[in-house]
Amino acid sequence: MKVGVLALQGAVAEHIRLLEAAGAEGVVIKKIEQLSDIDGIVIPGGESTTIGKLMRRYGFIDALRDFSGQGKPLFGTCAGLIVLAKEIEGQEEAHLGLMDIKVARNAFGRQRESFETDLAIKGIDEHVRAVFIRAPLIEEVRDGVEVLAVYNDEIVAARQGHLLAASFHPELTDDHRMHAYFIDMIHQTK
Ligand code: GLN
């Protein structure tokens, strides 16, 4: 099983490390031609405006919509979640616009810019250590979206079929269970 990590900006090596710990082959994706070679892709954290701009420049918007249209799974973390969303609070345009969620960027306020907590995630047995860095939250989920995790009454992880999204950074710990969950999703869709 080969899982790509979109490498335009953001935390790439950390995702590769945990995908490999969870038993997949991690592939650094820099060109759209590489997409035909992988079974799923992670869109990492970073800065969503920058990632979106680079995606447009290198043809990733259409290529990843096509990838998704083939039923291949995508996992967006933090900025990657924003990139997946159909609606971004206060912005006219979405990026990939694939997932039926509305997100708010930098939603945890100043004092809580960065923090860690133990989160209960549906489908994973024990709590997962979650690192939030200027994180977005999911303000609304629409039909077909399953809420996987909530923090202080706010939705911080969700799934819609072959799409997975988390507000936090599962790649910044040594815990690979979120990546294992994504790899299971890929197995289910194959
Ligand atoms: N605040 C960033 C954004 O809006 C996301 C932060 C992150 O990925 N850690 O794009």
pLDDT one-digit tens code per residue, 126-143: 999 999 999 999 999 999
Q: Which residues does the annotation place in the binding site for L-glutamine?
A: 46-48, 105, 133-134
Per the prediction, the chain carries an average pLDDT of 96
Res 74: pLDDT: 98
Is the predicted pLDDT of residue 110 greater than 90, yes or no? Answer: no
Residue 1 has what DSSP assignment?
A: -
Is the predicted pLDDT of residue 109 greater than 90, yes or no? Answer: no
Q: How far apart are CA 136 and CA 116, in angstroms?
A: 14
Res 24: pLDDT: 98
Q: Which of 12, 43, 78 to mutate to test the pocket of ligand 1 (most atoms within 8 A of CB)?
A: 78
pLDDT tens digits, 5-35 = 999 999 899 999 999 999 999 999 999 999 9
Determine how β-strand 2-6 pairs with β-strand 25-29: parallel
Supply the pTM of this predicted model: 0.97
Q: Which helix (H) or strand (E) holds 182?
A: helix 177-189
Q: Where are the domains of the chain?
A: 2-189
Res 134: pLDDT: 95
Is the predicted pLDDT of residue 148 greater than 80, yes or no? Answer: yes
Is the predicted pLDDT of residue 117 greater than 80, yes or no? Answer: yes
Q: What percent of the chain has pLDDT over 90?
A: 95
Res 84: pLDDT: 98
Q: What DSSP string describes 26-83?
A: EEEE-SGGGGGG-SEEEE--S-HHHHHHHHHHTTHHHHHHHHHHTT--EEEETHHHHH
Res 27: pLDDT: 98
φ/ψ region of 20 (left if φ > 0, alpha if ψ in -120 to 50, else beta) reads alpha
Res 190: pLDDT: 80
Residue 26 contacts by C-beta under 8 Å, 6 or more apart in sequence?
3, 4, 5, 15, 16, 17, 19, 20
Q: How many Cβ atoms are within 10 Å of 127's Cβ, its own excluded?
A: 13
Q: How many Cβ atoms are within 10 Å of 8's Cβ, its own excluded?
A: 19
15, 95, 171, 176: which one is catalytic?
171
Q: How far apart are CA 41 and CA 182, in angstroms?
A: 9
Out of 3.40.800.10, 3.40.50.880, 3.30.9.10, 3.40.50.10540, select the CATH number for domain 2-189.
3.40.50.880
Please report the sign of the dihedral spanned by the C-alpha atoms of residue 49, residue 149, residue 133, residue 12: negative
Is 33 marked active-site?
no
Res 57: pLDDT: 98
pLDDT tens digits, 56-97 = 999 999 999 999 999 999 999 999 999 999 999 999 999 999
Question: Atom of ligand 1 at shortest distance to CA of 105?
Answer: 4
Q: Which of 106, 116, 169 to mutate to test the pocket of ligand 1 (most atoms within 8 A of CB)?
A: 106
15, 78, 95, 176: which one is catalytic?
78
Res 108: pLDDT: 87
Res 173: pLDDT: 94
Res 185: pLDDT: 97
Residue 79 alpha carbon to ligand 1 centre in Å: 4
